Amino acid sequence: MAQQAYMAETDGGGPGPGRPGGRFRRLLQRMTAGWRGDRRIWRRGLLTAAVAVLLAAVMAAHSRIPNAVGNLGSLTETFLPWCGLLLPVLLLIALVRRSATALIALVLPVAVWLDLFGGLLFDKTGTGGDLMVVSHNVNADNADPSGTARSVAASGADVLALEELKASAVPVYERTLAATYEHHAVVGTVGLWSRYPISDVRAVDIKLGWKRAMRATVATPSGPVAVYVAHLPSVRVKLEAGFTARQRDKSADALGEAIADEALPRKILLGDLNGTMNDRALNAITSQLRSPQGAAGDGFGFSWPAAFPMARIDQILITGVEPVSSWTLPQTGSDHLPIAARVKVDTETS
């Protein structure tokens, strides 16, 4: 009789007891034991279900969260991917509470999160490309500027942008990078180093009163590219004022106007924008340029803080060129991670 039961289970009745499918089914049966016939499974966990629906609403309608009070909308959008951490917590609560209502409600935030960020879970890194660019906020208080310079130069970048350059450290970067990059220009606290000739270098007015953005033409073998380097003002989270970002937002609008007026069709923006691609405050920029990370990256590419990256506030944004790959580089003496991308400038032959 036992042998017949075993044959029924393995030959036609589903996975055998020694198979992974059989173990999973037994585990599921133990977890849901007592659910059958228990009408309370629909009444339990209503609060958990409500939280799941609210979480889905926050993620789906994040652009409608007002910024009038403490820039709450921008703050939410900065850390929006981390809403996903609440999903397994809610799932565990729903299972412990044996709540069918909560489990069904949980489908909503899971679907919204996957729609927003599911594509970043897969490696879309490609091969090829004819231009590698790197951007790095080197930190004005960097105790090892020469080591940082050697590290980013070793990445093999054709074009390198550095932000938060301290005046006293600029000569160190220039000396260290001279052997790798024949051409360079520094404007205020940002700089550009290139293997290819640079021309038409000028400051970009981002309404700060001092120079933290620049523009240059890089003569790549596949054609000229307008390269912008920018370091937008920092943002702060203060208990009494919320997410203070007014100056950052003003500078983002000014930078967006400058990029819109650019005559060259190929444009690359490198820099610390102190904001993520989800942040509506950067719309003047992100409405014109796209991130290679979403199209050709591997993961979220968080760049700050370097010790435990939680947000991608350092950006490489492009238009007129095709993304091939995007990634972060190893930590240097800065509190930001360097970010890199490889693009195809000669799109006509692709």
Q: pLDDT, tens digit, for every residue of 71-87? A: 888 889 999 999 999 99
- Are 162 and 65 part of one and the same domain? no
pLDDT band at 6 (very low <50, low <70, confident <90, very high): very low
Is residue 325 within 8 Å of 339, Cβ to Cβ?
A: no
Q: Which domain holds residue 52?
A: 32-121
CA distance 174 to 181: 9
Strands 159-163 and 131-137 turn out to be parallel
- Are 216 and 315 part of one and the same domain? yes
Is 257 contained in some domain?
Answer: yes
pLDDT at 101 > cutoff 50 = yes
pTM of the model: 0.85
Is residue 282 within 8 Å of 311, Cβ to Cβ?
A: no
**Count of other CB atoms within 10 angstroms of residue 322:** 18
Is 126 contained in some domain?
Answer: no
Is 310 contained in some domain?
Answer: yes
- Are 345 and 213 part of one and the same domain? yes
- Are 102 and 174 part of one and the same domain? no
- Average pLDDT of the chain is 89
- Are 101 and 196 part of one and the same domain? no
Is 137 contained in some domain?
Answer: yes
Q: How many domains does the chain have?
A: 2
CATH code of the domain containing 283: 3.60.10.10
CA distance 253 to 260: 11
Longest distance between any two alpha carbons in the chain, whole Å: 88
Average pLDDT over residues 312-335: 98
- Are 59 and 168 part of one and the same domain? no
Looking at 87, 121, 155, the residue that finishes a domain is: 121
- Are 181 and 311 part of one and the same domain? yes
- Residue 37 confidence (pLDDT): 55
Which residues pair with residue 58 across a beta bridge? none
Please indicate whether residue 12 or residue 73 has the higher confidence score (pLDDT). Answer: 73
- Residue 7 confidence (pLDDT): 45
Is 307 contained in some domain?
Answer: yes
- Are 183 and 208 part of one and the same domain? yes
Is 262 contained in some domain?
Answer: yes
Q: Which of 30-39, 86-95, 104-113, 185-194 has the lowest mean pLDDT?
A: 30-39
Is 276 contained in some domain?
Answer: yes
Is 4 contained in some domain?
Answer: no
- Are 178 and 268 part of one and the same domain? yes
Sign of the Cα torsion 283, 289, 290, 291 reads negative
- Residue 235 confidence (pLDDT): 83
Please indicate whether residue 140 or residue 35 has the higher confidence score (pLDDT). Answer: 140
- Residue 12 confidence (pLDDT): 45
- Residue 304 confidence (pLDDT): 96
Q: Give which of 214, 328, 238, 232 is closest to 275, Cα–Cα.
A: 232
Looking at 78, 98, 121, the residue that finishes a domain is: 121
- Are 231 and 153 part of one and the same domain? yes
Looking at 91, 121, 151, the residue that finishes a domain is: 121
Please provide the DSSP assignment of 229-249 as one string: EEEPPP-EEETTTEEE-HHHH
Please provide the DSSP assignment of 65-94 as one string: S-STTTTHHHHHHHTGGGGGGHHHHHHHHH
- Are 139 and 91 part of one and the same domain? no
Please provide the DSSP assignment of 133-181 as one string: EEEEE--TT-S-HHHHHHHHHTTT-SEEEEES--GGGHHHHHHHHTTT-
- Are 135 and 225 part of one and the same domain? yes
Is residue 55 within 8 Å of 109, Cβ to Cβ?
A: yes
Please indicate whether residue 316 or residue 12 has the higher confidence score (pLDDT). Answer: 316
Average pLDDT over residues 42-69: 92
Average pLDDT over residues 238-264: 84
